[in-house]
Structure 1
Amino acid sequence: MITNLYFVRHAHSTYTPDELGRPLSERGFSDAKIVAELLSKEKIDYVVSSPYKRTIQTVEEVAKSLKQEIIIEEKFKERVLSKEPVEDFNHVISEVWKDFNLSWDGGESNITAQKRGIEAMNNILKNYCGKNVVIGTHGNIMVLIMNFFDQKYDYDFWNELAMPDIYKLTFEGDALTKVNRIWN
């Protein structure tokens, strides 16, 4: 049975130190409408999201068009890079992509975050087999999930993502058969 997962990296957000409550920016809300338009052509059955406000707001219009509530999945939240904000984000993030076992103080290694993301994805595949499911999430965890299947989805790939971005992953059972970018 074919299941399609539409991973949606959240739209642009207004920076606040509150990771969980950070909202979309004006540009982000505008782009979220485009996300909804693009996904309206895909016969979506369910909408799942990370608990972060910016991911929920990015896929909210999709859920409203289906007259459904968004299903919150904690395990699709962004990877924790470190307990405290880092001084040189680019250096810190590139280092964890070089060594999948590396974790900074209080943060998750790529292996740990990837395992969490794959577990959440496998639950979606099991519970929504044969359906089209939108998953509102974050760039790093999304690419770590994709990397599990193909190592070409790496730091450079992550670094080139748009905000928002949409990737359709097609599965036959639990085997990934195709990846298509929906965002243009």
Structure 2
Amino acid sequence: MITNIYLVRHAVSLYTPDELNRPLSEKGLKDASKVTELLSYENINKVISSPYKRAIQTVEGTANHFGLCISTDEGFRERKLADCSVTNFDEVILKYWEDFNFSLPGGESSNFAQDRGVQTLKSVLNQCCGENVVIGTHGNIMVLIMNYFDKKYSYDFWKSLNMPDIYKLSFENGVFISINRIWS
């Protein structure tokens, strides 16, 4: 039985220091409509999201289109880089990707974040066998999950992602088959 997981990186958001409640920008809201349009052909059975507002807003139209409620799961939230704000973001992210054990104080190493995301995904696979599931999430955790199944998804791939972006991960009886891009 085939299960398809559609990992949706959130659209562009307005910057606020409040990570949890940061909303989509006007452009992000328009792009979220394209997410809905693309996924409207996929016979979606369930919609799950990170609890962050920007991720929820990106998949909200898809849930509405299929008459579904969005359930939230902390396992799909973005990786925490540190307890405080990071000023040299690009350098820090590169370091996290180069050394999967590295973390700043209060941050999640790539190994830790990947394990969190993959275990949450495996739980979804167990609960939703044979279904098509949309997951609203964030770029770094999304690519860490994909990297677990195929190492070609790494830092350079993460840097090339769009906001939003959609990748379909297919599994047969819980066994990984493929990753395909849906966004165009």
Q: What is the TM-score of this pair, normalised by structure 1?
A: 0.99
Q: What are the equivalent positions in structure 2 for 1:75-90 lying under 5 Å apart?
A: 75-90=75-90
Q: After superposition, give the CA deviation of every residue in 1:50-90 in whole Å (9 maximum; x if it has no partner).
A: 00000000000011112121011111000001111111000
For 1:18-29, list aligned pairs within 5 A.
18-29=18-29
Which secondary structure state, in structure 1, belongs to the residue aligned with residue 171 of structure 2? strand
- SS of the residue corresponding to residue 95 of structure 1 reads helix
Shift of 1:44: 0.6
Q: Which residue of 2 aligns with 1:59?
A: 59
Rounded to whole Å, the distance in 2 between the matches of 1:153 and 1:81 is 19
Shift of 1:144: 0.3
CA distance in 1, matches of 2:9, 2:96: 20
Deviations 1:1-24 (A, max 9, x none): 100000000000000000000000
* CA RMSD, 1 decimal: 0.5
In the alignment, the residues of structure 1 paired with residue 173 and residue 55 of structure 2 have an alpha-carbon distance, to the nearest angstrom, of 27
Q: Deviations over 1:116-140 (max 9, x none)?
A: 0001100100000000000000000
Q: Aligned letter for 1:178? A: S
What amino acid is the match of 1:99?
Answer: D
- 1:1-184 aligned at under 5 Å gives the runs 1-184=1-184
Cα distance in 2 between the residues matched to 1:63 and 1:99:
37
Q: Which amino acid aligns with 1:155?
A: Y
Instruction: Give 1:112's aligned amino acid.
Output: F
In structure 2, C-alpha distance between the alignment counterparts of 1:173 and 1:111, rounded to whole Å = 25
Q: Structure 1 residue 150: deviation in Å?
A: 1.1
In structure 2, how many angstroms separate the alpha carbons of the residues matched to 1:145 and 1:179? Answer: 11
Q: Could you tell me which amino acid in structure 2 is paired with residue 67 of structure 1?
A: G
Structure 1 consecutive aligned stretches of length 4 or more whose deviation exceeds 4 Å: none
How many residue pairs are counted as aligned between the two chains?
184
Measured in 2, the distance between the counterparts of 1:169 and 1:106 equals 30
CA distance in 1 between counterparts of 2:144 and 2:174 reads 17
Q: TM-score, normalised by structure 2?
A: 0.99
Question: More deviation in 21-30 or 63-72?
Answer: 63-72
AA of the residue aligned to 1:152: K
Aligned residue for 1:152, secondary structure, equals coil
